[in-house]
Structure 1
Amino acid sequence: MSTIRINWKKILILMAIGFLVIQIAGSFFFYDLAIKRGPKEFLEKNADLEVADKTLDLYLKGDWRQWVADQKFERLSLTSRDGLQLSGYYLPAAKPTKKLVILTHGYLGNARQMGLFGQYYHNELGYNIFMPDARGHGNSEGDYYGFGWPDRLDLIDWTDQLVKKLGPDTEVAYHGLSMGAATVLMASGEEELPRQVKAIIADSPYESVYSLFTYQMNRMFHLPAFPLLDGTSLVTKFKAGYSFREANALKEVERTRIPILYIHGKSDTFVPTEMAEDLYRHTASEKDIFLVANANHGESFALSGDAYKQKMSQFLNRYVIEKDRVSK
């Protein structure tokens, strides 16, 4: 009888090559799934994004939608540092003021959706408002989603442009939702952040892109982060210019000087509440946190109503102070 000799070394090499091919293919797949610009069908029936009927009614039928449609926004444009044409919408306050809020939207959203908050800022708080389309969203160029990291520099450049437009004594608040919340936090610790930025409100933020995707890969696909997420991060670095680990809001708030109000739903299963609590604990500046019972991702404004507005306005009134009010 002949003896069959198994070449284990060759088998192991083939297995390693096969594993590497699968990882590379998987990394490109997940890049297209989450980072590349385009519809994201995998989120359409995601239970973690289900909201209460009250929330859905506000989102789809709230009077803020007609308010946005009725306003005569000034369309502004910005060339990003890497050459993208970005778009945004500016609306002056009814009465002259130096107060400006920049409202940053979430993943797959667009600028005009932030009219949900813009209506209150404009009509009740008397702010000039500006709502930019993030790169890859709305009318802004870009073939990928930045998840806040390249967007933080766009936000800084938008702020500089608006300060030039409105004057150096402008006082700026940032208010971001979800990805927009991560954007304002990622900008918060930058040395070049304009001195006019006085306060930040971060609604439903995540700590970093890597921690967010680690959580969601496990929850949605039951996969460990390593090595597939690290491979996707390398693809993102090559194609979009940033890695998941460097896109880190936690490191930015550890060195920020800007007061921050964190808002998060206690029942958020898309971006866990613990991320906002961890960001709060690590924030170097003055800070506050407002947690809303029974609210899922991005629902706090809809479900807490007047309590949200009261918390927001009290916080802003401590830090965004017009010069004429002080002189009196």
Structure 2
Amino acid sequence: MKRKYKVIITIVSLLLVLFVGAGFFAGNYFFNLALNPNTDKSAALNAPHNSIAISPEDAKEKEESKKWFKENFEDSFIQSFDDLKLHAYTLKNTNETNKWAIVFHGYSSDGSQMSKYAKHYYDMGFNVLIPDARGHGKSEGDYIGMGWHDRLDVVSWINNVISSNKNAEIVLYGVSMGGATVMMASGEDLPDNVKAIIEDCGYSSVWDEFSYQLKAIFKLPTFPIMHFSSAVTKLKADYTLGEASAVEQVAKSKTPMLFIHGSKDTFVPSDMLNEVYEAANVPKEKLIVEGAGHGGAESVAGDSYWETINNFLAKYIE
């Protein structure tokens, strides 16, 4: 009996070791696929449900704004809470103003790709600051924060603006991962200078977004891959996929918020909008753009997109 019992224990132990080993192997694979900034993201970004259509008109506006951007930006740098050198593009308005828009880009992108949005805020009379998220563009970092550690970088950029303009009236704006970033920052103790936050197609949490993509791209269940991936993320990037929650951060916010999403978004499912909107206990509004895919609300809605933003900001910024 004892021998049989030992054999069973040995087999179970080996199976457990194999399970854990395979789990961490898979977790490391998905960490590198999703959060290592040096790996190719095309497999995920080019998946059919993640494709982002760009109209000829949108492409033309983007090219025109890129030219304007290159002729007008200045480089800015700060040190992060964990000693990374972070970069941002600064566009000072020719008309002196205390109004600042801090604009945040999406996943696997960089600040220079936000020139179209920057131009709109500039034309609305704002100075514009566009940070490169850690691990993106000219900012240092060996992992993608998905908005979580970036939320503390947001606070650093806010303080940097205030240090040179104590009367600054600041709006935080972000698209996709940038939208999640400003939502995650909303739960921090922000200075009174931050008057409003606008998020466009941000996800409810990193766990929810990655679970959705895991199923959509690889047809794999949440358990156990997400759990091992989260453990690897904690080891390599010092945060878990579960703690990186826009919903929980928005629930702590004291800043008025505008939530925007396209009804046909299949990259960040549009039902995530309801989760973050319902969690907010501040003056809030939402704009659902019918027929818009991921990051397409602005191009589909056109002038009404910016009219909604203008009307929202007019309530909180002089």
* TM-score computed with the length of structure 2 as normaliser: 0.94
Q: Matched residue of 1:291: which SS?
A: strand
**Superposition pairs of residues 47-86 of structure 1, within 5 angstroms:** 47-54=48-55, 57-58=58-59, 62-71=63-72, 73-86=73-86
Distance 1:105 1:314, change over 3 A: same
**In the alignment, which residue of structure 2 is the partner of 1:318?**
315
1:188 CA displacement: 0.5
Code of the residue aligned with 2:120 in structure 1: it is: Y
1:209 CA displacement: 0.7
Question: Aligned equivalents of 2:202 and 2:155: distance in 1?
Answer: 18
1:225 CA displacement: 1.3
Q: Matched residue of 1:113: which SS?
A: helix
1:75 CA displacement: 1.1
Code of the residue aligned with 1:241 in structure 2: it is: D
Residue 55 of structure 1 contacts residue 299 of structure 1 at CA under 8 Å; is this kept in 2?
no
In structure 1, the gaps of 5 or more residues are 322-328
Code of the residue aligned with 1:310 in structure 2: it is: E
Question: Aligned equivalents of 2:167 and 2:297: distance in 1?
Answer: 32
**In the alignment, which residue of structure 1 is the partner of 2:129?**
130
Question: Aligned equivalents of 2:80 and 2:258: distance in 1?
Answer: 28
Which deviations, in whole Å up to 9, do the C-alpha atoms of 1:70-117 show, x marking residues without a partner? 21x221101101010000111111211110000000011111111111
Give the percent of matched residue pairs that are identical in Structure 1 and Structure 2. Answer: 37
Q: Matched residue of 1:78: which SS?
A: strand
Distance 1:55 1:102, change over 3 A: farther
**Superposition pairs of residues 232-251 of structure 1, within 5 angstroms:** 232-251=229-248
**In the alignment, which residue of structure 1 is the partner of 2:197?**
200
**Superposition pairs of residues 1-328 of structure 1, within 5 angstroms:** 7-38=7-38, 39-54=40-55, 57-58=58-59, 62-71=63-72, 73-123=73-123, 125-166=124-165, 168-191=166-189, 193-321=190-318
* TM-score computed with the length of structure 1 as normaliser: 0.91
Which deviations, in whole Å up to 9, do the C-alpha atoms of 1:138-196 show, x marking residues without a partner? 00000110000100100101110111112x211000000111111111111112x1210
Which deviations, in whole Å up to 9, do the C-alpha atoms of 1:27-80 show, x marking residues without a partner? 111111101112313124211222334178427854212221221x22110110
Code of the residue aligned with 1:203 in structure 2: it is: D
Code of the residue aligned with 2:44 in structure 1: it is: L
Distance 1:249 1:90, change over 3 A: same
* Residues 7-16 or 246-255, more deviating: 7-16
Residue 253 of structure 1 contacts residue 283 of structure 1 at CA under 8 Å; is this kept in 2?
yes
Question: Aligned equivalents of 2:307 and 2:61: distance in 1?
Answer: 24
Distance 1:285 1:308, change over 3 A: same
Question: Aligned equivalents of 2:269 and 2:307: distance in 1?
Answer: 24
Which deviations, in whole Å up to 9, do the C-alpha atoms of 1:211-245 show, x marking residues without a partner? 11111111111111122111111111111111111
Distance 1:34 1:218, change over 3 A: same
* Residues 144-153 or 6-15, more deviating: 6-15
Q: Matched residue of 1:319: which SS?
A: coil
Question: Aligned equivalents of 1:119 and 1:26: distance in 2?
Answer: 42
Question: Aligned equivalents of 1:44 and 1:132: distance in 2?
Answer: 22
Question: Aligned equivalents of 1:162 and 1:45: distance in 2?
Answer: 36
Which deviations, in whole Å up to 9, do the C-alpha atoms of 1:262-311 show, x marking residues without a partner? 11010001111111111111101011110111111111111111110110
Code of the residue aligned with 2:173 in structure 1: it is: H
Question: Aligned equivalents of 2:137 and 2:60: distance in 1?
Answer: 17
Question: Aligned equivalents of 1:170 and 1:148: distance in 2?
Answer: 24
**In the alignment, which residue of structure 2 is the partner of 1:326?**
none
Code of the residue aligned with 1:281 in structure 2: it is: E
Number of equivalences: 313
Which deviations, in whole Å up to 9, do the C-alpha atoms of 1:2-48 show, x marking residues without a partner? xxx99544333322222111101001111111011123131242112
Residue 55 of structure 1 contacts residue 302 of structure 1 at CA under 8 Å; is this kept in 2?
no
Q: Matched residue of 1:226: which SS?
A: coil
* Residues 196-205 or 241-250, more deviating: 241-250
